[in-house]
């Protein structure tokens, strides 16, 4: 009953207070005003969506980036991450709105004397608060996303990358040093440091540092793959920074001037490195101490500059070298041993080097380092090499000066005849002409041509020899050219007069008369061409008369013989080969002719040449090589043990080489055999000659007028083959050249025919 009374009393008080409160218009008005103010505040919060200031953008970016880092999978892709980003912004905005509304309600409760209900406030602020709030946050998220998302993503990816970098398993100092040192030793040359791009060789190894990153943003994925490359660049940067500390020393020899030994130079560099590098292996990425590779570079530089410093000393100080007087005395005391500069240098080095080495050790090393340098000079190292080189260089200068003086003396004494106006006489010129030489190529030639005996040659310095050869060339080259042109005129004359000669022979005109006529023709032609020669060498050489005489008489005899055999034919020279009429028997069948298929042999002349064994081929090539420099094609006739003859043909290079056996007594058969056998090899030789001409590397004929030439040597080492054979073969060769030119469409080269009859 008592409880019931208390309850009733409480109820009465509540009702009474309620009634009194409601009857107080002031309190009621204040409540309504407060509700209104709160509602306006809430409405303002709701409509206050669009303005996102810079500080709020930054704050949101930070918050969203945190969210991204928490949910990397959802935000992995930039594009697909926008939707969760927008949703997060909506949620954030809704939460912020709720918070602001709550604050407003609390504020309203403080302002009003009567209780304030949240629902009342929200009902006044919006028709449908939850719906409008939802629309507002949606709109806010849409508007803000563009401003916030990219920045947040950038922050998140930067943070993620930073953490990944911090979690990287950086290599230990020892491990890294092994790799870098290996790289340095493999690629760096001399005192050059490793270039930054060389560090790329470490990429495969460095990739192992990036392990188990877990889910990462797409843009970070690429950077993760570049992390090892970034670290590599960092390494290269650290390496370069270390190198910069000692660059002046390593590349500029900027050591203290007093330092000479490599150990001193090396220690100087190490001290600088120690002072300049602050190792911090705990930082990310670690800052490594001095790389072993840098130490090795400093070591190399120390060795390099030790030698260079010595070299500078040797170049400036000459007291350690023997003087010129000493050297001249040594050379003059035994000229025979000093013929060559090389020998001089060797002999003098052998004599003076030890003395010089000892002097350098004392003067350069001083008391402190003389023993060290002595030891170094005795070993085969850089210092010994530097000393040797400098010694030889200095010695060479001095020796050359001395030798020049001696050579001048020798030249003026022993080759004074070269200054004579009558030099060279025709026999000397003919000596070179007959050997197909257009220049004096060696002192040996010079000495042979001038018949200087061995004793005379034994004390002539190489410098003297060169001077003599040079002078000789100046004198003899114009003479040789004139002689060559004069002899060439005979050949032209021969072509020009051959038909007339046939008629003259058929009319039985005496050979002497014909010869005079030919001499007159030659002189006429020469008169027109002699301006090509220098004035000194415009007179007719005796050789011309002799050659004219020989040619006319041989042709005459040959044609006379042919006419006796076939008086009606004037083509005999091209059909027959030289030889005695008596000896032209039917059993003179060449070996080649005995073959059942001569056509086959024509196609493969080299097979014929090969005979049966390869040794024979090699023999041909080797034999042809002996004519290198003498001609473009060679006909070499020699005897065989079985009484037959052998003709070797081919270019000195071996092209078109083949061997033919024939019976020298059977002139007809031999002619036919040679004619058939030559067709293909001659073509090959012509082709080769043409290629060589075109290649332009050299011209065996020494032609300077641009026209191509082919030089054929007709070498006869058997008495069975006469000069007539040369004429007939030459005619066939000329014919073949013309045919080849027509067929190939090229210009026919001028044929230079050179007889060399040993017997």
Partner 1 sequence: MKRRKDLAGLDHLISGKKAKARRSPNLSPNDALVQVALPLVLILAIITRLMVIEYTEAVRNKGPRILEMWKQQLILRIDTVMDAWERDAELSAFPDFQRVQWKGALPNDQRFSTLCTKAQEMNDRSALQDDLYNSALAYEPPEGEEETALQFITLYDPLAKAQPEDPSMVSEDFVINEERRSYALGYVTDRVSKWKEQVEGLQWAAVARCADRLPLVDSAGKSDGVSAQLMRVSEELKRRGYPLLNSLVEEYVKSD
Between 37 and 475, name the residue whose CB sits nearer to partner 1.
Answer: 37
User: Is 615 among the residues that bind partner 1 (CB under 8 A)?
Assistant: no
Cβ at position 231, least distance to partner 1 in Å: 52
Going from the C-alpha of 491 to that of each of 81, 497, 552, 734, 748, the distances in angstroms are: 100, 10, 11, 12, 16
Cβ atoms within 10 A of the Cβ of 376, count?
23
- Residues paired with residue 714 on neighbouring β-strands, in sequence order: 635, 755
Q: How many residues bind partner 1 (CB under 8 A)?
A: 30
User: Is 37 among the residues that bind partner 1 (CB under 8 A)?
Assistant: yes
Of the ranges 6-14, 63-71, 249-257, 701-709, which one interacts with partner 1 (CB under 8 A)? 6-14
| Options 18, 20, 22, 44; binder of partner 1; rule CB under 8 A | 44
Cβ atoms within 10 A of the Cβ of 403, count?
22
Between 105 and 682, name the residue whose CB sits nearer to partner 1.
Answer: 105
- Letters for 72-111 (x = contact with partner 1 by CB under 8 A, - = none) are ---------------------------------------x
Nearest to 122 by CA among 97, 95, 139: 97
Cβ at position 32, least distance to partner 1 in Å: 4
| Options 2, 4, 79, 531; binder of partner 1; rule CB under 8 A | 4
Kindly identify the residues of this chain, within the stretch 638-697, that bind partner 1 according to CB under 8 A.
none
Cβ at position 24, least distance to partner 1 in Å: 8
Nearest to 522 by CA among 555, 492, 484: 492
| Options 20, 22, 29, 332; binder of partner 1; rule CB under 8 A | 29
Between 45 and 176, name the residue whose CB sits nearer to partner 1.
Answer: 45
Cβ at position 147, least distance to partner 1 in Å: 19
Between 125 and 303, name the residue whose CB sits nearer to partner 1.
Answer: 125
Kindly identify the residues of this chain, within the stretch 146-165, that bind partner 1 according to CB under 8 A.
none
Of the ranges 41-49, 312-320, 400-408, 639-647, which one interacts with partner 1 (CB under 8 A)? 41-49
- Quick one: 199 exposed, middle or buried, by C-beta within 10 A (0-12, 13-18, 19+)? buried
Between 28 and 619, name the residue whose CB sits nearer to partner 1.
Answer: 28
Of the ranges 45-53, 388-396, 414-422, 463-471, which one interacts with partner 1 (CB under 8 A)? 45-53
Cα–Cα distance, 117 to 693 (Å, whole number): 116
User: Is 7 among the residues that bind partner 1 (CB under 8 A)?
Assistant: yes
Two tokens, residue 478: 């114009």
Of the ranges 33-41, 216-224, 244-252, 665-673, which one interacts with partner 1 (CB under 8 A)? 33-41
- Residues paired with residue 294 on neighbouring β-strands, in sequence order: none
CA dihedral 553, 559, 563, 568 (to 10 degrees): -140
Cα–Cα distance, 386 to 376 (Å, whole number): 11
Cβ at position 123, least distance to partner 1 in Å: 11
User: Is 241 among the residues that bind partner 1 (CB under 8 A)?
Assistant: no
User: Is 538 among the residues that bind partner 1 (CB under 8 A)?
Assistant: no
**Strand stretches in 28-143, DSSP E:** none
Q: What is the 3-state secondary structure (H, E, C) of 452-505?
A: CCHHHHCCCCHHHHHHHHHHHHHHHHHHHHHHHHHHHHHHHHHHHHHHHHHHHH
Between 39 and 407, name the residue whose CB sits nearer to partner 1.
Answer: 39
Q: Which residues contact 298 (CB under 8 A, 6 or more apart)?
A: 246, 249, 250, 266, 269, 270, 273
Instruction: Please count the residues of the chain.
Output: 759
The helix or strand, by DSSP H or E, that contains position 753, with its residue range, turns out to be: strand 750-757
| Options 20, 48, 441, 523; binder of partner 1; rule CB under 8 A | 48
Cβ at position 125, least distance to partner 1 in Å: 7
Q: Which residues contact 171 (CB under 8 A, 6 or more apart)?
A: 179, 206, 209
Cα–Cα distance, 432 to 442 (Å, whole number): 12
Cα–Cα distance, 48 to 42 (Å, whole number): 10
| Options 18, 20, 39, 703; binder of partner 1; rule CB under 8 A | 39
| Options 21, 32, 164, 450; binder of partner 1; rule CB under 8 A | 32
3-state SS, residue 124: helix
Cβ at position 168, least distance to partner 1 in Å: 49
| Options 21, 40, 374, 392; binder of partner 1; rule CB under 8 A | 40
User: Is 28 among the residues that bind partner 1 (CB under 8 A)?
Assistant: yes
Between 47 and 542, name the residue whose CB sits nearer to partner 1.
Answer: 47
Going from the C-alpha of 462 to that of each of 117, 332, 341, 348, 397, the distances in angstroms are: 126, 15, 7, 17, 16
Strand-by-strand arrangement of the 750-757 sheet: 658-662, 645-650, 633-639, 709-716, 750-757
Of the ranges 42-50, 372-380, 393-401, 550-558, which one interacts with partner 1 (CB under 8 A)? 42-50
User: Is 46 among the residues that bind partner 1 (CB under 8 A)?
Assistant: no
Give the CB-side neighbour count of residue 46, counting CA atoms within 13 A.
22
Cα–Cα distance, 539 to 545 (Å, whole number): 12
Between 47 and 699, name the residue whose CB sits nearer to partner 1.
Answer: 47
Between 53 and 336, name the residue whose CB sits nearer to partner 1.
Answer: 53
Between 100 and 150, name the residue whose CB sits nearer to partner 1.
Answer: 100
Kindly identify the residues of this chain, within the stretch 105-134, that bind partner 1 according to CB under 8 A.
111, 124-125
**Strand stretches in 578-657, DSSP E:** 633-639, 645-650
Cα–Cα distance, 488 to 494 (Å, whole number): 10
Cβ at position 52, least distance to partner 1 in Å: 13
Cβ at position 95, least distance to partner 1 in Å: 20
| Options 25, 115, 214, 596; binder of partner 1; rule CB under 8 A | 25
Q: Which residues contact 544 (CB under 8 A, 6 or more apart)?
A: 486, 487, 489, 490, 522
User: Is 2 among the residues that bind partner 1 (CB under 8 A)?
Assistant: no
Between 33 and 503, name the residue whose CB sits nearer to partner 1.
Answer: 33
Contact 206, 64 (CB under 8 A): no
Cβ at position 10, least distance to partner 1 in Å: 10
- Quick one: 345 exposed, middle or buried, by C-beta within 10 A (0-12, 13-18, 19+)? middle
User: Is 379 among the residues that bind partner 1 (CB under 8 A)?
Assistant: no
| Options 17, 21, 22, 43; binder of partner 1; rule CB under 8 A | 43
User: Is 143 among the residues that bind partner 1 (CB under 8 A)?
Assistant: no
Interface residues with partner 1 (CB under 8 A) are 4, 7-8, 11-12, 15-16, 25-26, 28-37, 39-41, 43-44, 47-48, 51, 111, 124-125
């Amino acid at each position: 009953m008592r409880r019931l009374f208390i309850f009733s009393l409480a109820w009465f008080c509540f009702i009474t207070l309620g009634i009194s409160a409601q009857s107080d218009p002031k309190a009621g008005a204040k409540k309504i005003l407060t509700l209104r103010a709160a509602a306006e505040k809430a409405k303002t919060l709701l409509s206050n969506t669009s303005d996102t200031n810079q500080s709020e953008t930054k704050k949101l970016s930070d918050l969203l980036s945190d969210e991204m880092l928490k949910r990397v999978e959802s935000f992995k892709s930039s594009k697909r991450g926008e939707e969760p980003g927008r949703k997060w912004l909506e949620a954030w905005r809704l939460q912020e709105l709720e918070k602001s509304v709550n604050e407003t309600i609390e504020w309203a409760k403080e302002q009003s004397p009567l209780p304030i209900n949240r629902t009342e406030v929200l009902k006044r602020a919006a028709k449908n608060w939850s719906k409008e709030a939802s629309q507002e946050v949606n709109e806010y998220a849409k508007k803000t996303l563009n401003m916030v998302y990219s920045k947040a993503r950038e922050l998140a990816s930067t943070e993620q990358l930073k953490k990944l970098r911090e979690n990287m398993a950086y290599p230990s100092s020892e491990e890294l040093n092994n790799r870098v040192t290996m790289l340095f030793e493999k690629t760096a040359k001399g005192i050059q440091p490793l270039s930054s791009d060389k560090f790329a060789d470490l990429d495969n190894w460095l990739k192992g540092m990036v392990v188990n990153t877990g889910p990462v943003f797409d843009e970070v994925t690429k950077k993760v793959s570049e992390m090892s490359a970034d670290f590599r660049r960092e390494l290269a940067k650290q390496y370069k920074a270390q190198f910069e500390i000692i660059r002046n020393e390593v590349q500029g020899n900027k050591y203290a001037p007093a330092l000479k030994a490599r150990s001193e130079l090396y220690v100087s560099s190490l001290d600088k490195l120690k002072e300049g590098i602050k190792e911090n292996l705990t930082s990310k990425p670690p800052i490594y101490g001095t790389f072993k590779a840098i130490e090795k570079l400093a070591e190399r530089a120390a060795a390099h500059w030790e030698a260079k410093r010595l070299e500078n000393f040797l170049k400036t100080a000459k007291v350690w070298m023997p003087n010129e007087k000493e050297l001249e005395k040594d050379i003059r005391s035994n000229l025979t041993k000093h013929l060559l500069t090389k020998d001089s240098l060797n002999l003098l080095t052998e004599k003076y080097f030890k003395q010089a080495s000892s002097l350098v050790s004392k003067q350069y090393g001083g008391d402190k380092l003389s023993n060290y340098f002595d030891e170094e000079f005795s070993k085969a190292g850089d210092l010994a090499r530097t000393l040797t080189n400098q010694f030889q260089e200095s010695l060479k200068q001095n020796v050359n000066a001395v030798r020049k003086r001696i050579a001048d003396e020798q030249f003026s004494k022993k080759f004074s005849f070269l200054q004579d106006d009558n030099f060279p006489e025709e026999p000397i010129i003919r000596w070179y002409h007959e050997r197909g030489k257009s220049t004096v190529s060696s002192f040996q030639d010079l000495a042979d041509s001038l018949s200087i005996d061995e004793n005379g040659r034994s004390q002539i310095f190489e410098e003297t020899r060169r001077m003599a050869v040079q002078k000789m060339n100046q004198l003899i080259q114009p003479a040789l050219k004139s002689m060559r042109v004069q002899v060439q005129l005979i050949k032209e004359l021969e072509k020009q007069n051959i038909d007339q000669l046939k008629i003259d022979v058929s009319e039985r005109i005496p050979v002497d008369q014909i010869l005079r006529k030919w001499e007159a023709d030659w002189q006429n032609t020469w008169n027109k061409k002699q301006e090509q020669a220098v004035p000194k060498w415009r007179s007719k050489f005796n050789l011309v008369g002799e050659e004219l005489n020989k040619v006319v008489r041989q042709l005459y005899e040959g044609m006379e013989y042919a006419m006796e055999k076939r008086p009606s034919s004037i083509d005999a020279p091209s059909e027959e080969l030289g030889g005695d009429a008596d000896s032209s028997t039917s059993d003179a069948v060449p070996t080649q002719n005995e073959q059942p298929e001569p056509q086959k042999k024509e196609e493969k002349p080299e097979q014929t040449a090969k005979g049966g064994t390869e040794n024979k081929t090699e023999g041909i090539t080797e034999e042809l090589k002996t004519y290198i420099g003498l001609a473009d094609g060679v006909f070499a006739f020699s005897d065989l043990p079985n009484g037959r003859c052998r003709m070797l043909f081919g270019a000195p290079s071996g092209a078109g080489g083949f061997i033919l056996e024939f019976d020298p007594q059977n002139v007809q058969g031999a002619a036919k055999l040679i004619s058939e056998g030559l067709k293909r090899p001659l073509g090959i030789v012509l082709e080769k000659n043409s290629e060589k001409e075109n290649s332009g590397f050299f011209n065996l004929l020494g032609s300077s007028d641009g026209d191509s030439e082919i030089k054929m040597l007709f070498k006869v080492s058997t008495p069975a083959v006469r000069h007539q054979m040369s004429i007939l073969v030459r005619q066939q060769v000329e014919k073949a050249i013309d045919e080849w030119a027509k067929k190939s469409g090229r210009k026919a080269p001028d044929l230079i025919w050179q007889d060399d009859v040993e017997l």
